[in-house]
Amino acid sequence: MTRPYLAEKISGIIRQLGIVLLIVEATKADDLDVAFASAAAQHADAIVDFGDSLTYVEAPRIIALAAKYHLPANYMFRQYANGGLSVYGADVGDLMRRAGSYVDKILRGAKPSELPVERPTKFELVINLKIAKALGLTVPPSLLVRADDVIE
């Protein structure tokens, strides 16, 4: 599931890889069941959740729907790791620590508008082998050694 502007941003890269991107939108919690049913009806091979506020709040339900429709799913936030296949995203703990330095600068008089925008610098990859097994997937050893955490 994704928002249209994110899909547009990554669609060029996806086309180069020969992947067909199915856009399945859910803008409110009531749309989730229909979105997953639609993805399954279109024979989606997997889902990528880009972690907007709806999917973050509805994480347990998203994980349950992915399992119900037997869809491997990659998520952006670690909270999905216990029920999702994989997580790849910015390390939220690192982001919060770095935000603390911004708070310090602002409290010392810096103008927020003059502080540079920073991108995440630390990312984490978590792979859940229990979910991989339940989906009948084998995770390559080369990917497992790159993971920050492997749930067995």
Render pLDDT for 64-121 as a digit per residue (tens, 0 to 9): 999 999 999 999 988 888 899 999 999 989 999 999 999 999 999 999 999 999 889 9
pLDDT recorded at residue 2: 44
Nearest to 66, CA basis, from 12, 138, 1: 1
Looking only at the bridges linking them, the beta strands covering 123-128 and 86-90 are: antiparallel
DSSP annotation string for the chain: ---HHHHHHHHHHHHHTTPPPPP---SSGGGHHHHHHHHHHTT-S-EE----HHHHHTHHHHHHHHHHTT--EEESSGGGTTTSSEEEEE-HHHHHHHHHHHHHHHHTT--GGGSPP-----EEEEEEHHHHHHTT----HHHHTT-SEEE-
Q: Distance between CA 33 and CA 65 in Å, rounded?
A: 7
The average pLDDT across 121-135 equals 95
Q: Distance between CA 34 and CA 28 in Å, rounded?
A: 11
CATH topology for 4-151 is Rossmann fold (3.40.50)
- Of 7-21, 59-73, 133-147, least confident by mean pLDDT is 7-21
More confident residue, 1 or 122: 122
Chain segment 22-79, per-residue pLDDT in tens: 888 888 999 999 999 999 999 999 998 888 889 889 999 999 999 999 999 999 988 8
pTM (two decimals): 0.79
pLDDT band at 8 (very low <50, low <70, confident <90, very high): low
